[in-house]
């Protein structure tokens, strides 16, 4: 299993959006921000494991398609009928991993640490949906994509996890190597905005 | 030049805002609100182009997007030049520069006009008949010449500096067209609370209402009603109004593509604004209110500048305050000609005479014309026009039952013609709706729908202002109602046309539905009279008759043979008259002739719009590893591998400061790895974590190898086949625990392999308790390879016994490197002692730099993919996709050892049992050594036994990899050769264009064949 | 761009999906028991009907699930979609796809 990362390292973690985010223009209508590092675990499993996994994580895993649950700064995103992304900003993955494994011992499941597979981007402001819709074909009206919804989808040619936290606040979770591509296209999409 | 042809007052132009522009180098003045066409007309300019084939002088024909002649190039600068714009859609701004096309040296004198004199030799099908020989000449000679002559516009050669954006939007009701029907539809839908988008291709919303001077709606002048209605719509949050926005394509499931020209009309475009925006509208319901297009009459010399569509002449006068002439002749087959006559007369134009094709002329409009003292001549046709660059007279003749009487020539400076109106069914047809012929209307009208749409107003044959308004309102209301109960995106059954639910009193001239389709009789020598059907492609009635005489019956064939309707205007003005002419020639009713298919785009659309933001560095995702920037800072050269950028080699400055070329750099890198140690960024390798109680069983089924007995902590090289038995991918797999595998794939194969695994897992074996997670981007992978590899990493690693005995070749251990958790593989793709350090990507670069620093005392050498390729080829390690091409079995690729013979089943096993899959003459992987060690073979070169054998020379195989090996001091190559293993030790030939190269077939391992170096 | 209804996520644009060939072709439980001809039939031969076609799709950039669809190959309309493992719905195929 994954060793604990609690041992301090002299090395600094890098975010592929660091340079782009630092140079980013402040636009009131749509703000872009690189989100803090987070622990990310993918949980897959049979029915019996789902409940205990949520209990161990502290957030019940949503059973409704394309929805997320949140409690105590932890998020459980539905990705598929037997697939969830468990995300905790500014946290270590290892203790979560250990706790969930302990709660699901003997119950068929899979838990994989993907903390560094992706990075988060916040797109917020009254024109957030307009900017996202330049590369995403979903209906982002509140009726069709309400607060609490999450789904894998596309932004231009990249796959993203798209999450709505508030009417004007979206989070994107993007695989690292696609993140600059997504960021640059988000920047391009808000060029016409003051 | 002054606006000599400007009316004294009226129109929607802003007479307080004069502006100047240039056309063909000459300065003109116009007003805000003018189009280039209306401003030119106000200045008395009609001559705007030369025709496609005959280079005949051409003037403005229409006032809208159906304009076939007035194609212009508008250039802000050398890069911002747009050819083929219709002058009728170009809004004039201060300083606009436009040029006519298709003329040389000038519009007034065009050298290509000799084609007109030679026209008897340019019949339909001319291109097919003439430019056929010799082979190849079409591409080299004829086509470029014809294109240059044909004046299809010149695209700028500089990169387009403008921006284009694309936007996905959803709405309940999309209304296409903001004439009276569309406005009423939008109003009705908006009142119900539906999300409404109303778009129109013109600068101003209003459609035909913009040309009304006398009509009233709900007791107000039409213009006031229009202003009030637009204000109402603009005030609603649920309504988006899009002027300058053309609905150009109707795609499945109510996806309608709109092209919005955002800055095209501005003298100084706003910073950051896109030039154009593509709206990809997904509408629950669509209302098409596209209106109707006026048909020209097909009579001889109907293409002379000054001959226009009647209603366009009226639009120029009423909407733009521009008179198309001073002395107008009208030629009409319907009451539209009279309406134009009356409105132009009111604008101060002398109406010389009205020639009416009809024998019976009655009704309100003709009566008013007579009362106004206009010379009305029933049963009369125009049989020709005269004038060099502008019409100066028209020839009248009586025509009864096809008999044409003597001609009378009457002076004029403009001819306005009307053959009636054709409903614009382009978008309906694009949506795959079925058109039906309506004999009473003399038109094709929307029939069975395929999409959830409905037509409203004159595009479905409803005429008369009040009826159009009421129809629009009813369709808009019905669309909103349907959208409210929308449950699925299933396409719609034909909606019953909604019946008017609201009375919208309106008064306007009623034109009825009269009209004419075909060519009017002229009694002249048919060989010399050019009566144009298709202005843009220069097709005359004679050409169409010739096609029917040559045996073409289907309208689709006539269209392609004559090219009628195939120009950029898509035959908006020509389709119906073509049908009429074919119908008469074949004595077959119009609906039996058929109708050509309308295809997107409705009007020409820029490439920029389709490209949108996807250009330059964001054309495709450009994937970089966590270590990429370090390599870039070192001056590495990169190559594209899929979407990844990978370091190809790391050139260093040699003696005298000259940078190494690839050959020198790769030679140095290869020697360093073999002699000491090198490091390589292998992060792009695909990675999949396979977890669950049935993980080993799943691995057994997906890979050829046996996995059950692989102990945790061990690595194994795995081979994956497709079900057809051919090698699909390979990679090293680590067993992390009894229920957890760390699988690697090729860089390019990662998504394909995961999809392949998911396919089997989800659809064949859903009972297996195992799950797959891509971890490609979770891990950075740093390969440290060479005899000193262990010494380099040893000081950095904690928690792993790195001793030879404790950590032999092909093992995986978990520990930390500089405190960062790592999965450390003892693995080699070079044949040397090697390790692959997997660390979470956020630490990839930091760990890389630490390893580099730790290796400095051994001269650690970063190397790129080219060196990696050479090193692995020296060892005979294949690359899937290079040695294999989708037709190689494991045995072909020397991987027979990796197939678990005792396994009952795995994907591809049954196919391997086919006799052909083990035939002795299959192509097999071998090594090649050139007799001359300095010669490096070309990859892909064919291999033969005897190059002088009679053709076709039997091909034995081909070279798959070929390099110069600096370590071996000679060239090496891998090849797939028929029965190759049995040929080891024999000589074959590799023929090249000038000579053949002799090679010896050898074992495909050139370096350290026993593998002693792997263990350090 | 079609709208395809994922049995899990609902109506989504076509770009999120990947086509997966004809549906309801189960891999033989014991491939070694098949003759070459029978194996070739399984591997290569498909019905290619004019009209309703049962086919596999994967909500690739969504929930990732494979599911099945009935699509009319004449009109390109999806008649219905259903989860993998469920039987082909009993729908008459001559509708031209306008449910
Ligand atoms: Zn789905």
pLDDT of residue B329 exceeding 60: yes
**Would you call B237 an interface residue with chain C, using a CB distance cutoff of 8 Å?**
no
Q: What is the pLDDT along chain A (194 residues), one digit of tens a residue?
A: 344 444 456 788 999 999 999 999 999 999 999 999 999 999 999 999 999 999 999 999 999 999 999 999 999 999 999 999 999 999 999 999 999 999 999 999 999 999 999 999 999 999 999 999 999 999 999 999 999 999 999 999 999 999 999 999 999 999 999 999 999 999 999 999 97
* A143 assigned to some structural domain: yes
Domain that holds residue A138: 14-36+117-194
Domain of A179, CATH number, reads: 3.30.1360.120
What is the reported pLDDT for A4? Answer: 43
pLDDT over 80 at B534, yes or no: yes
Q: What is the pLDDT of residue B526?
A: 87
pLDDT tens figures, C15-38 = 999 999 999 999 999 999 999 999
pLDDT 10s digits, C31-70: 999 999 999 999 999 999 999 999 999 999 999 999 999 9
| Res B643 pLDDT > 80 | yes
Which of A114, A142, A168 is the endpoint of a domain? Answer: A114
Whether A126 and A158 map to the same domain: the answer is: yes
Distance from chain centroid for Cα B344: 43
CB B321 within 8 A of CB B6: yes
Question: Which residues, other chains included, contact B618 with Cβ-Cβ below 8 Å and sequence gap of 6+?
Answer: A156, A181, A184, A185, A188
Residue among C12, C16, C63 whose CB faces A80 most closely: C63
Same domain membership, residue B445 and residue B366: no
**A125 shares a domain with A102:** no
B partners (3+ CB pairs within 8 A) are A, C
pLDDT of B489: 60
CB contacts < 8 A (A, B): 158
- pLDDT at position B115 is 72
**Residue among A66, A83, A153 minimizing CB distance to C61:** A153
- CA–centroid distance, C7 to ligand 1, in Å, is 7
Closest to B229 in 3D by CA, of B289, B188, B290, B287:
B188
Q: How distant, in Å, are the alpha carbons of B10, B118, B205, B500 from that of B197?
A: 31, 51, 13, 22
**Closest residue in chain B to residue A44, using alpha carbons only:** B771
Do residues A101 and A165 share a domain?
A: no
Residue of A nearest to C83 (CA): A81
C96: confidence class by pLDDT, cuts 50, 70, 90: very low
- Domain assignment present for A8: no
- Of B370, B400, B417, the last residue of a domain is B417
Query: Are B184 and B231 within one domain?
Result: yes
C9 with A79: Cβ contact below 8 A: no
Q: Is pLDDT at B442 greater than 70 in this prediction?
A: yes
Residue C94 in this model has a pLDDT that exceeds 80: no
Check if A36 contacts B (Cβ < 8 Å).
no
Three-state helix/strand/coil letters over B901-959: CCCCCCCCHHHHCCHHHHCCCCEEEEEEEECCCCCCCCCCCEEECCCCCCCCCCCCEEE
Same domain for A104 and A152? Answer: no
B849 occurs within a structural domain: yes
Closest by CA position to B717, among listed B694, B692, B699, B738: B699
Q: Which domains are delineated in chain C?
A: 3-25+39-92 (3.30.2270.10)
Residues of chain A found within 8 Å of residue B847, distances taken between Cβ atoms = 11
**How many beta carbons lie within 10 A of that of residue B8, not counting itself?**
7
Separation of alpha carbons B575 and B598, rounded Å? 10
Q: Where among A114, A136, A159 does a domain terminate? A: A114
Q: In a 3-state reduction of DSSP, which class is residue A87?
A: strand
Q: What is the largest CA-CA distance in chain A?
A: 56
- The yes-or-no verdict on residue B327 having pLDDT over 60 is yes
Return the pLDDT at B134.
Answer: 60
Binning pLDDT at 50, 70 and 90, where does residue B129 land? low
pLDDT digits (tens, 9 = 90+) for B25-62: 999 999 999 999 999 999 999 999 888 788 899 999 99
Chain A hits for B612, Cβ within 8 Å: 134
- pLDDT tens, position by position, B605-617: 999 999 999 999 9
Last residue of a domain, one of A99, A114, A129: A114
Which of C9, C15, C64 lies at the smallest CB-CB distance from A154? Answer: C15
B737 and B817 in a common domain: yes
A152–C13: do the CB atoms touch at under 8 Å? no
> What's the CATH number where B228 sits?
3.50.50.60
Q: Which chains touch A (3 or more CB pairs under 8 A)?
A: B, C
Subunits with at least 3 CB pairs below 8 A relative to chain C? A, B
Domains of chain A: total: 2
B662: in domain = no
How far is the C-alpha of B186 from the C-alpha of B456, rounded, in Å? 11
pLDDT digits (tens, 9 = 90+) for B155-199: 889 999 999 999 999 999 999 999 999 999 999 999 999 999 999
Which H/E stretch holds residue B142? none
The predicted-structure confidence for B388-407, as pLDDT tens digits, reads as follows 999 999 999 999 888 999 99
Q: Contacts of residue C55 in chain B, CB cutoff 8 Å? A: none
Last residue of a domain, one of B392, B417, B442: B417
Give, as residue ranges, everything with CB less than 5 Å from ion ligand 1: C 6, 8-9, 59, 62-63
Indicate the range of B108-112, B446-450, B495-499, B796-800 predicted with least confidence.
B108-112
Residues A72 and A91 in one domain: yes
Residue B940 domain-assigned? Answer: yes
Tell me, in angstroms, the distance from the centre of ligand 1 to residue B836's CA. Answer: 36
Q: Three-state SS string across C55-83, please?
A: EEEECCCCCCCEEEEEEECCCCEEEEEEE
**CA–CA separation, B793 and B405 (whole Å):** 105
> Which residues of chain B neighbour C75 with C-beta distances below 8 Å?
450
Which pLDDT does position B595 carry in this prediction? 85
Q: What integer best gives the mean pLDDT of chain B? A: 94
| Per-residue confidence band for C93, with pLDDT thresholds at 50, 70 and 90 | low
Cβ-contact B88, B62 below 8 angstroms: yes
Interface with chain C: mutation pick from B251, B281, B283, B489, highest number of C CBs within 10 Å: B489
Q: How confident is the model at residue B907 (pLDDT cuts 50, 70, 90)?
A: very high
Residues B731 and B848 grouped into a single domain: yes
Hey, of A112, A127, A131, A154, which one would you mutate to test binding to chain B, going by the most B CBs within 10 A of its CB? A112
- Which of B844, B871, B898 is at the close of a domain? B871
pLDDT at residue number B298: 98
Instruction: Kindly report, residue by residue over B275-297, the tens digit of the pLDDT.
Output: 999 999 999 999 999 999 999 99
**From residue C26, how far is each of B762, C50, C70 by CA, in Å?**
12, 22, 17
Residues in A lying within 8 Å of C, measured between beta carbons:
65-66, 79-81, 83, 137-138, 151-154, 159
Q: Do C32 and B909 touch (CB under 8 A)?
A: yes
Q: What is the CATH number of the domain that holds B112?
A: 3.10.20.440
Interface test with C, best of A82, A144, A152 (most C CBs within 10 A): A152
In a domain, A7, yes or no: no
Average pLDDT over residues B623-631: 98
3-state helix, strand, coil in chain C (%, to 5): 15, 35, 50
pLDDT of residue C1: 86
Confidence of residue B108 (pLDDT cuts 50, 70, 90): confident
Q: Is B218 in the C-facing interface, judged by CB distances under 8 Å?
A: no
DSSP state of B325: -
Minimal C-alpha gap between A61 and chain B (Å): 17
State whether B84 and B217 are in the same domain: no
What integer is the mean pLDDT of B720-741?
A: 98
Please give, rounded to a whole number of angstroms, the shortest distance from the CA of C27 to a CA of chain B.
7
Q: Are residues A87 and A28 in the same domain?
A: no
Q: Considering only alpha carbons, which residue of chain A is nearest residue C17?
A: A153
Q: A71 and A166 share a domain?
A: no
B705-714: average pLDDT = 96
Interchain contact C61–A (C-beta under 8 A) = yes
Judge whether B821 lies within some domain: yes
Residues of B in contact with C39 (CB under 8 A): 910-911, 914
Residues 6 or more apart whose CB falls under 8 angstroms from that of B790 comprise B802, B833, B835, B1016
| A65 contacts C9? CB cut-off 8 A | yes
The pLDDT score that the predictor gives to residue A96 is: 98
Could you tell me which residues of chain C have a Cβ less than 8 Å from any Cβ in chain B? 1-3, 5, 11, 13, 18, 20, 26-27, 30-32, 34, 36, 39, 43, 56, 58, 60, 64-66, 75-78, 84-85, 97-99
| pLDDT, position A194 | 78
CA separation for the pair B917, B907 (Å, rounded): 15
Rounded CA-CA distance B70/B569 in Å is 11
A187 and A121 assigned to the same domain: yes
Specify the higher pLDDT residue, B961 or B513: B961
Is pLDDT of C98 > 50?
Answer: no
Give the separation between CA B353 and CA B397, rounded to whole angstroms: 12
Q: Are residues A76 and A99 in the same domain?
A: yes
State whether B485 and B340 are in the same domain: no
Flag whether pLDDT at B328 surpasses 50: yes
Report the residue of chain C nearest B488, measured CA to CA: C11
One domain, residues B380 and B345: yes
C62 interaction partners in chain A (CB closer than 8 Å): 151-153
Say yes or no: B87 and B169 in one domain.
no
Instruction: Look up the domain containing B25 and give its range.
Output: 1-153
Q: How many domains does chain B have?
A: 5
pLDDT for B145 equals 62
Nearest to B169 among A12, A133, A184 (CB): A133
My answer on whether A32 and A46 are in the same domain is: no
On whether both B824 and B731 belong to a single domain, the answer is yes
Which stretch of DSSP H or E encloses residue B446? strand B443-446
Contact B693 A180 (CB under 8 A): no
């Amino acid at each position: 299993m994954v060793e604990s990362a609690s041992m301090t390292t002299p090395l600094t973690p890098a975010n592929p959006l660091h340079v782009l985010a630092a140079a980013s223009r402040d636009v009131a209508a749509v703000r872009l921000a690189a989100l803090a590092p987070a622990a990310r675990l993918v949980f897959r499993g049979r029915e019996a494991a789902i409940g205990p996994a949520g209990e161990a994580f502290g957030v019940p895993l949503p059973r409704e398609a394309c929805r997320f649950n949140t409690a105590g700064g932890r998020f459980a995103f539905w990705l598929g009928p037997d697939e969830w992304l468990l995300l905790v900003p500014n946290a270590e993955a290892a203790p979560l991993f250990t706790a969930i494994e302990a709660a699901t011992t003997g119950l068929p499941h899979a838990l994989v640490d993907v903390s560094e597979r992706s990075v988060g981007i916040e797109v917020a402001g009254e024109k957030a949906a307009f900017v996202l819709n330049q590369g995403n074909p979903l209906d982002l009206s509140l009726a069709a994509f309400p607060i609490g919804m999450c789904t894998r989808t596309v932004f231009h040619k990249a796959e993203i996890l798209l999450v709505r936290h508030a009417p004007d606040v979206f989070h994107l979770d993007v695989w690292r190597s696609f993140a600059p591509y997504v960021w640059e296209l988000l920047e391009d999409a808000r060029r016409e905005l003051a | 030049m002054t606006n000599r042809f400007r009316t004294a007052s009226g129109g929607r132009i802003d007479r307080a805002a004069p502006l100047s522009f240039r056309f063909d180098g000459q300065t003109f003045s116009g007003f805000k609100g003018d189009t280039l066409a209306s401003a030119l007309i106000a200045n008395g300019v009609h001559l705007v182009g030369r025709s496609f084939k005959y280079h005949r002088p051409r003037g403005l024909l229409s006032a809208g997007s159906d304009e076939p002649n007035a194609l212009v190039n508008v250039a802000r600068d050398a890069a911002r030049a747009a050819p083929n714009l219709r002058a009728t859609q170009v809004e004039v701004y201060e300083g606009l520069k436009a040029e006519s096309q298709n003329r040389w040296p000038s519009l007034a004198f065009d050298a290509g006009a000799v084609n007109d004199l030679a026209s008897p030799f340019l019949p339909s099908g001319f291109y097919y008949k003439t430019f056929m020989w010799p082979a190849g000449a079409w591409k080299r000679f004829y086509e470029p010449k014809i294109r240059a002559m044909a004046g299809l516009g010149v695209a700028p050669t500089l990169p387009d500096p403008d921006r284009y954006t694309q936007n996905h939007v959803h709405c309940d009701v999309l209304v296409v067209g903001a004439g009276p029907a569309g406005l009423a539809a939008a109003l009705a839908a908006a009142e119900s609370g539906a999300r409404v988008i109303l778009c129109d291709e013109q600068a101003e919303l209003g459609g035909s209402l913009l040309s009304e001077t006398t009509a009233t709606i709900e007791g107000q002048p039409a213009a006031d009603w229009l202003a009030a209605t637009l204000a109402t719509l603009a005030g609603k949050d649920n309504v988006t109004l899009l002027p300058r926005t053309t609905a150009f394509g109707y795609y499945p499931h109510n996806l309608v593509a709109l092209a919005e020209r955002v800055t095209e009309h501005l003298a100084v475009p706003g910073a950051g604004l896109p030039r154009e925006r593509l709206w990809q509208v997904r509408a629950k319901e669509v209302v098409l209110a596209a209106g109707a297009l006026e048909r020209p009459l097909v009579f001889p010399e109907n293409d002379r500048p000054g001959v226009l569509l009647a209603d366009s002449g009226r639009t120029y006068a009423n909407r733009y305050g521009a008179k198309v002439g001073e002395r107008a002749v009208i030629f009409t087959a319907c009451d539209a000609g009279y309406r134009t006559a009356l409105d132009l007369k009111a604008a101060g134009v002398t109406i010389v005479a009205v020639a009416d094709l009809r024998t019976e002329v009655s009704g309100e409009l003709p009566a008013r014309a007579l009362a106004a003292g206009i010379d009305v001549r029933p049963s009369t046709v125009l049989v020709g026009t005269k004038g060099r660059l502008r019409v100066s007279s028209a020839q009248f003749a009586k025509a009864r039952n096809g008999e044409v009487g003597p001609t009378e020539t009457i002076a004029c400076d403009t001819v306005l013609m009307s053959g009636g109106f054709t409903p614009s069914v382009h978008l309906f047809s694009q949506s795959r709706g079925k058109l039906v012929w309506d004999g009473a209307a003399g038109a094709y009208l929307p029939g069975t729908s395929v999409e959830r749409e409905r037509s409203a107003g004159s595009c479905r044959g409803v005429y008369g202002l009040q009826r159009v308004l009421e129809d629009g309102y009813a369709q808009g209301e019905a669309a909103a109602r349907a959208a409210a109960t929308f449950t699925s995106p299933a396409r719609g059954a034909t909606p019953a046309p909604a019946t008017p639910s609201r009375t919208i009193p309106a008064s306007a001239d009623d034109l009825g539905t009269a009209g004419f389709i075909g060519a009017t009789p002229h009694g002249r020598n048919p060989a010399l009279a050019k009566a144009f059907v298709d202005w843009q492609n220069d097709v005359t009635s004679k050409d169409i008759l010739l096609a029917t005489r040559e045996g073409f019956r289907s309208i689709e064939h006539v269209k392609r043979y004559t090219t009628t309707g195939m120009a950029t205007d898509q035959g908006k003005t020509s389709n119906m008259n073509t049908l009429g002419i074919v119908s008469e020639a074949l004595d077959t009713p119009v609906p039996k002739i058929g109708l050509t298919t309308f295809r997107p785009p409705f009007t020409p659309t820029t490439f920029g719009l389709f490209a949108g933001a996807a250009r330059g560095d964001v054309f495709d995702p450009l994937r970089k590893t966590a270590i990429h920037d370090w390599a870039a800072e070192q001056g590495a050269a990169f190559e594209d591998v899929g979407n990844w950028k990978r370091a190809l080699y790391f050139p260093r400055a040699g003696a005298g400061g000259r940078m190494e070329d690839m050959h020198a750099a790769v030679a140095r890198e290869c020697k360093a790895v073999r002699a000491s140690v090198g490091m390589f960024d292998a992060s792009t390798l695909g990675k999949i974590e396979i977890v669950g109680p049935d993980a080993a069983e799943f691995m057994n089924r997906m890979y050829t190898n046996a996995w059950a007995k692989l102990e945790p902590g061990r690595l194994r090289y795995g081979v994956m086949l497709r079900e057809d038995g051919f090698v699909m991918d390979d990679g090293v797999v680590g067993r992390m625990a009894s229920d957890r595998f760390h699988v690697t794939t090729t860089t390019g194969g990662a998504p394909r392999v995961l999809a392949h695994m998911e396919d089997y897992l989800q659809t064949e074996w859903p009972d297996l308790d195992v799950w797959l997670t891509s971890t490609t981007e979770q891990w950075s992978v740093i390969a440290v390879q060479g005899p000193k590899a262990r010494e380099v990493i040893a000081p950095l690693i904690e928690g792993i016994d790195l001793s030879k005995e404790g950590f032999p070749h092909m093992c995986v251990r978990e520990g930390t490197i500089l405190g960062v958790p790592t999965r450390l593989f003892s693995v080699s793709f070079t044949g040397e002692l090697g390790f692959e350090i997997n660390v979470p990507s956020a630490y990839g670069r930091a760990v890389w730099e630490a390893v580099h620093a730790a290796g400095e005392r051994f001269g650690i050498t970063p190397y790129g993919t080219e060196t990696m390729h050479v090193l692995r080829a020296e060892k005979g390690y294949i690359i899937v996709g290079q040695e294999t091409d989708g037709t190689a079995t494991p045995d072909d690729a020397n991987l027979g050892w990796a197939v678990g013979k005792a396994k009952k089943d795995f994907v591809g096993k049954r196919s391997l049992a086919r006799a052909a899959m083990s035939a002795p003459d299959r192509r097999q992987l071998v090594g090649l050594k050139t007799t001359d060690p300095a010669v490096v073979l070309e990859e892909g070169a064919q291999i033969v036994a005897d190059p002088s054998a009679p053709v076709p020379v039997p091909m034995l195989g081909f070279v798959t990899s070929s390099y110069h090996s600096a370590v071996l001091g000679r060239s090496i190559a891998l090849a797939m050769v028929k029965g190759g293993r049995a040929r080891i030790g024999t000589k074959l030939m590799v023929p090249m264009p000038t000579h053949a190269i002799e090679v010896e077939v050898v074992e495909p391992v050139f370096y350290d064949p026993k593998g002693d170096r792997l263990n350090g | 761009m079609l709208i395809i209804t994922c049995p899990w996520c609902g109506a989504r644009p076509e770009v999120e999906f990947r086509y997966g060939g004809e549906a309801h072709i189960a891999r033989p439980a014991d491939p070694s028991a098949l003759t070459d001809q029978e194996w070739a039939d399984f591997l290569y031969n498909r019905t290619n009907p004019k009209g309703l076609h049962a086919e596999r799709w994967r909500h690739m950039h969504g929930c990732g699930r494979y599911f099945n669809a009935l699509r009319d190959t004449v009109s390109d309309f999806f008649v219905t979609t259903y989860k993998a493992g469920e039987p082909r719905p009993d729908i008459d195929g001559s509708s031209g796809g306008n449910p």
